[in-house]
Amino acid sequence: MQRRQFLGAALAAAATPMRGAGKPIRTAFLGASHSHTRGKLEVVKTSPEFALAGVWDEDQEVRAQFARRGETVLTLDRILGDKAVEAVVVQSDTIDHARHAALALEAGKHVHIEKPPSLGVAAFRNMLDLAARRKLVFQQGYMWRHHPGFRRIAEAVRGGWLGEVYMVEAKINKTLEPERRPEWARFRGGQMFELGSHIIDQMVLLMGRPDRITPYLKKHGAFPDNLADNTIAVFEFPRALGVVVGSALDPNGSRYRSFVVSGSNGTATMSPIEPPQLTMDLHKAAGAYQKGPQTVELPKYRRFEDDFVEFAKAIRGEAPLLVSPHEDLVVQECIIEASGM
C-alpha cells in the first residue's frame, strides 16, 4: 500500500516513551454502553498488566447498571484530570467514539477505541495526528486482529502457499434484535458499517488498498425503520476481487460467518469464524500444508485478550502495535466507502 504523504514518517515511526515495567497500567473506561464493554472489562480486570480505575458513561442508566454490579463509577473530569490514569478504553455509543477518544488523547491518555472509530475519515486523521504528536498509543478495537485463523490465512497468503489470490469472500451476518435496529439505522451503512467493519478490517489488511469499492446497501426487513439490513460491498483489487456480505436478518447469524481466500494453488476456508474452523485445500503441497484438503489445528483464544497484551506492550514501549497508523487509516477509508458514507 502506498503511504499518504501528509502522514509522512511521523505517524509511521511515532514512538512511545519507555515506561517502567512491572507497575500495572491504571486504566479507565470512557464510555461503557457498547456491547463489547463487558468482555473487555473482564479482560482488563483479570490482567496483571492493568489496574482498573473505574468506568464512566454519559447515560445515567448505564452508570447505574455498572454501579449495581459493584464497579467504581467515575466522572469524566476525574478520568481526564487524573494523571495516574494512563490509559482509556473508549466503549461509548458509536456516534461518540471519536469525540471521547479525542478528549482522552488531548488529556494525554493512551487510547484503545471501539470500532468503528469515527463516522468519517477526517476525524480519524485528526486522532492519528494528535496521537502521533503527543506520542500516545492509539489502538483500534477490531476484534479479530489476533484471531489465530486469520493469522494462519495471512501467513499462507504472504508465503505464496495459496498461489496468486484472485478472490476473497467474507460473510458476517447477525441476528439483530428489533429494539436495536434504530441504533444501527442512524448510519447510512447500517449493517455494513456497524458489523461489517470487523471483516473489512481483515480483508484490507490482507489484500491492501482496493482500486474501487462498490456498496449495495438495502433495507429488506419488514420493520418500521430505514436500517440497511441486507448489504454487500464489492472490492476491486489490482488482480483480485473481494466480496463482503452482511445481513442483520439471519436467524442463526454468527453460526455462518465465514472468510474464504481462493488462489491459483488452493483455497483457505474459515467457517465458522467463531469458534474457528479452518480448512486448507491445496493443489500442490506448499509451506506448512500438504496437497489436498486438511483441517488446520488452531490454538484456543479469548476475544480481546491478546489485544490488551499488545496494548500494554505498546504503552510500555516494548513493541509497536501490530497494525501501523497508515494501515489503520486505509482500513477506515475503506469502511467509510463500503458504507456509502
Q: Rounded to whole angstroms, what are the CA distances from 245 to 170, 193, 210, 220, 319?
A: 6, 12, 17, 14, 35
Angle at 25 between CA 20 and CA 27, to 5 degrees: 155
Q: What per-residue confidence (pLDDT) applies to 1?
A: 38
Beta strands in 153-224 (DSSP E): 165-171, 212-218
The whole-angstrom distance between residue 144's C-alpha and the CA centroid of its chain comes to 7
Q: pLDDT by residue for the chain (341 residues), tens digit each?
A: 343 333 433 343 344 444 455 799 999 999 999 999 999 999 999 999 999 999 999 999 999 999 999 999 999 999 999 999 999 999 999 999 999 999 999 999 999 999 999 999 999 999 999 999 999 999 999 999 999 999 999 999 999 999 999 999 999 999 899 999 999 999 999 999 999 999 999 999 999 999 999 999 999 999 999 999 999 999 999 999 999 999 999 998 889 999 999 999 999 999 999 999 999 999 999 999 999 999 999 999 999 999 999 999 999 999 999 999 999 999 999 999 999 99
| Cα separation, 66 vs 263, whole angstroms | 48
Could you report the per-residue pLDDT of 27-60, keeping only the tens digit for each? 999 999 999 999 999 999 999 999 999 999 999 9
Cis geometry, peptide bond prior to residue 299 (ω within 30 degrees of 0) = no
Q: What per-residue confidence (pLDDT) applies to 9?
A: 35
| Cα separation, 13 vs 122, whole angstroms | 21
Q: What is the pTM of this model?
A: 0.92
Please name the residue that has the C-alpha cell 500494554. Answer: 312
Kindly give the pairing relationship between strand 278-282 and strand 110-114: unpaired
Q: Rounded to whole angstroms, what are the CA distances from 121 to 108, 117, 136, 196, 267?
A: 22, 9, 20, 17, 34
- Nearest CA to 181 out of 91, 114, 251, 248 is that of 248
Length of the chain: 341
> Buried b vs exposed e over 213-248: b needs ≥16 C-beta within 10 Å?
bebebebebebeeebbbbbbbebebeebbbebbbbb
How far from each other are the two terminal CA atoms of the chain, in whole angstroms? 22
Q: What per-residue confidence (pLDDT) applies to 259?
A: 98
Give the mean pLDDT of the chain.
93
| Cα separation, 73 vs 57, whole angstroms | 9
Q: What is the DSSP string of 69-127?
A: TTPPB--HHHHHH-TT--EEEE-S-GGGHHHHHHHHHHTT-EEEEESS--SSSHHHHHH
Phi, psi of 104 (to 5 degrees): -65, -45
| Cα separation, 245 vs 271, whole angstroms | 14
| Cα separation, 181 vs 187, whole angstroms | 11
Q: What per-residue confidence (pLDDT) applies to 21?
A: 57
- Nearest CA to 307 out of 35, 117, 149, 112 is that of 112
In one-letter notation, the amino acid at residue 237 is: F
Q: What per-residue confidence (pLDDT) applies to 253?
A: 85
| Cα separation, 324 vs 141, whole angstroms | 14
**Cell (9 digits) for 298:** 488452531
Q: What is the DSSP string of 230-296?
A: EEEEEEEETTEEEEEEEESB-TTGGGG-EEEEEETTEEEEE-STTTT-EEEEESS-BTTB-SEEEEE
Q: Which domains does the chain have, with CATH numbers?
A: 8-141+304-322 (3.40.50.720), 148-296 (3.30.360.10)
Q: What per-residue confidence (pLDDT) applies to 271?
A: 97
